[in-house]
Structure 1
Amino acid sequence: MGPERDPAAALRRIAFLLERSQAATYRVKAFRTAAAAVDAMAAGEAAERVAARSLERVTGIGPRTAEVIRESLAGEVPGYLDRLEREAAAETVPEGGEELRALLTGDCHLHSDWSDGGSPIEEMGRTAAELGHTWAVLTDHSPRLTVARGLSPERLRQQLTVVERLNAEWAPFRLLTGIECDILPDGSLDQEPELLEQLDVVVVSVHSKLRMDPDPMTRRLEAAVRHPRANVLGHCTGRLLDGRGRPESRFDAERVFAACAEAGTAVEINCRPERQDPPLRLLRAAAAAGVLFAIDTDAHAPGQLDWQLSGCARAEACGVAADRVVTTWSAERVLEWAG
């Protein structure tokens, strides 16, 4: 059923497109909340409320979302959705990347509302499957990143139970268990070793003391990527390109990428528009070092799971071979590599 007949689908598609363009969270939430309100209605109730002009009496439905519901039930593509679709189609997209994007099967880095993401695990996994992935890795933050509601060991164990239940419903799509684990200043990882052993994929990233001097930062990264449970080095320079920005962390890239190649730890090609990390010169250096790569969205909302094309374009421009990209592999091959 298309958006001209399914109001909940139309509302979710609007939320997806808003997330993809990094719209304000409150705007996105309005449409996802309204979609949930429609889902909770009895069969035919939405149409009855349209006829009685009582849609906006339902908690979670406001004037704009009510208009979307009315237009959808009338058999029309809602005007707001149509405008967003046209804007998305007109976006300037990076040159290249389509061939590699077609080969992608998964994403090693995404967040849910268990840490600093905006949507439930169910919504993130469902969207990843709808985009054509056969697997994805849930990587909410580790404990010390309190600003991002990092998961304590107890909360992470609870999450593993939730993922196990969802996978029973989602087969053949599979949500792999994981974490974005903080690399602490001494290069150790911010989670119980026994718990890291239970996870399918571990992304390791620096989120603190990003302006550490180059020598200790190099040793910090080398230690982390050589950890037996480290699988992916996330956004390696930590740079931010938007707003006031944030400069790149300084380290000896040759040494760090050599350690990645030796340990079999993939270097992430982070697709967030404000990160685009690593920069092209470092991406070329990593390719020359013979490392593996993971083209990841670092998505914090379902619509952001559609960001991989830019990373694919950057990978192609830097001569990254498709078979060196773990996000083109099957879930079974990823588990064998990461295990």
Structure 2
Amino acid sequence: MDAVDALNEIAFWLERELAPSFKVQAFRRAAATIAPLDAAELAARVADGRLKRTKGIGDRTFQVIAQAVDGQVPDYLADLRQRNDQPLDTGGAELLAQLRGDLHSHTEWSDGTVPIEVMAAAAATLGREYQAITDHSPTLTVASGLSAERLEEQLDVIAGLDTGSLTLLTGIEVDILENGALDQTPELLGRLDVVVGSVHSKLRSDRRTMTKRMLGGIHDPQTNVLGHCTGRLVQGSRGTRPPS
């Protein structure tokens, strides 16, 4: 089995289990560390122990790599596959079969954990026809929102990727500001395939204030999708939150 694929698949399953982000990142980091090495060089570094002393490689990730280089499905990956061999919700199989793509996703450019190319590869593996990259906008600094300059850079990166049969769409999850305006320049928004407008602040505002704010975002001709419009938080490290 390819060692990079094994490490990235482990990270995928850990994310699905809502594992701590540092644990997920350890496998992503190890995958990025060995990705430039060809198979012969990787095998040599595993055999003589150099890889184990490489920054970004820990005991667990080294074991996974060594087993993959040896032609095995790593034990850790096999265990994760077995733990996750059932759907998260047994009632959603019919809807899942109809799913063709995803219009809301975050990469490591903002508060996600994966590079764009890894996300695209995962989408293709899942049988998706399209995937939109919708990282956050500048005002949401806590999520490393993209400035206009960084968004321009990301557009260049996406344009340079070969994603095969998967259509990789450019996009943004843009903040709807308190006055209802969108948190990015109209010129840049007009260049994107998908614009998701969302509220991320003052989620406990009264009904009249929040409705006026959301309507401002909806009325903007650049907005394609209204994101998480209830503000409800069901689970996660931040706890729960009732609907706005």
Q: Is the structural similarity TM-score above 0.5? A: yes
1:190 counterpart residue number:
183
CA–CA separation in structure 2 for the residues paired with 1:221 and 1:94: 31
Partner amino acid, structure 2, of 1:30? A
Corresponding residue for residue 25 of structure 1: 21
Could you tell me which amino acid in structure 1 is paired with residue 14 of structure 2? L
What does residue range 262-281 of structure 1 map to in structure 2 within 5 Å? none
Q: CA deviation at 1:90?
A: 4.8
What residue is the counterpart of 2:204 in the other structure?
A: 211
What secondary structure sits across from 1:210 in the alignment?
coil
Which residue is equivalent to 1:140?
135
**2-side partners of 1:198 and 1:210: how far apart?**
29
CA distance in 2, matches of 1:28, 1:132: 23
How far does the alpha carbon of each residue in 1:200-243 deviate from its partner, in whole angstroms, 9 at most, with x for none? 11101110111111112112212221221111111111111235
2:228 equivalent to 1:235? yes
> Percent identity of the aligned residues?
52
Contact 2:6 2:74 in 1 (8 A): yes
State the TM-score, normalizing by the size of structure 2. Answer: 0.92
Q: Residues of 2 paired with 1:55 and 1:143: CA distance?
A: 39
Cα distance in 2 for partners of 1:48, 1:75 equals: 14
2:197 match: secondary structure: strand
Cα gap change, 1:199 to 1:49, in 2 (>3 Å): closer
Alpha-carbon distance between aligned partners in 2 of 1:207 and 1:147, rounded to the nearest angstrom: 11
- 1-side partners of 2:79 and 2:35: how far apart? 24
**Aligned residue identity for 1:126:** A
2:34 to 30, 34, 38: 38
Q: CA deviation at 1:160?
A: 1.4
Structure 2 residue 216 is matched with structure 1 residue 220:
no
2:68 aligns to what?
72
* CA 1:86–1:43: 2 relative to 1, 3 Å: closer
Q: Deviations over 1:4-42 (max 9, x none)?
A: x32222112111111111211221122122222332224
- CA distance in 2: counterparts of 1:77 and 1:43, whole angstroms: 16
Q: For the structure 1 residues 11 and 237, does the alpha-carbon distance in structure 2 shift closer, same or farther, using more than 3 Å as the test?
A: same
- Tell me which amino acid in the other structure corresponds to 1:108: L
Q: C-alpha distance in 1, partners of 2:129/2:239?
A: 37
Aligned residue number for residue 100 of structure 1:
95
Q: Which one of the candidate residues 188, 194, 199 is aligned to 1:201? A: 194
Distance change >3 Å, CA 56–CA 218, structure 1 → 2: same
Cα distance in 2, alignment partners of residues 174 and 148 from structure 1: 26
Given that residues 46 and 52 in structure 2 are in contact (C-alpha distance below 8 angstroms), is that contact kept between their aligned partners in structure 1?
no
1:183 CA drift (Å): 0.9
* Higher relative helix content: 1
Deviation at 1:171, TM superposition (A): 3.8
Between stretches 224-233 and 235-244, larger displacement belongs to 235-244
Aligned counterpart for 2:114 among listed residues 94, 114, 119:
119
- Distance of 2:48 and 2:185 partners within structure 1: 57
Three-state SS of the structure 2 residue aligned to 1:96 is coil
Hey, what's the Cα distance between the residues in 2 that align with 1:86 and 1:144? Answer: 41
Deviations 1:98-117 (A, max 9, x none): 22221221100001121111
After superposition, what is the alpha-carbon deviation per residue over 1:20-65, rounded to whole angstroms, capped at 9, x for unaligned? Answer: 1121122112212222233222431232233334431222222111
Aligned letter for 1:219? Answer: K
More divergent stretch after superposition (202-211 vs 13-22):
13-22
Distance in 1 between residues matched to 2:49 and 2:146, nearest whole Å: 44
Residues 36 and 153 of structure 1: CA distance in aligned 2, closer, same or farther (over 3 Å): closer
Provide the TM-score with structure 1 as the length reference. 0.67
1:174 aligns to what? 167
CA distance in 2, matches of 1:196, 1:49: 47
- TM-aligned CA distance change 1:244 to 1:22, over 3 Å: closer
Alpha-carbon distance in 2 for matches of 1:55, 1:170: 30
**Unaligned ranges ≥5, structure 2:** none
**2:80 aligned residue:** 84
> What is the total number of aligned residue pairs between the two structures?
242
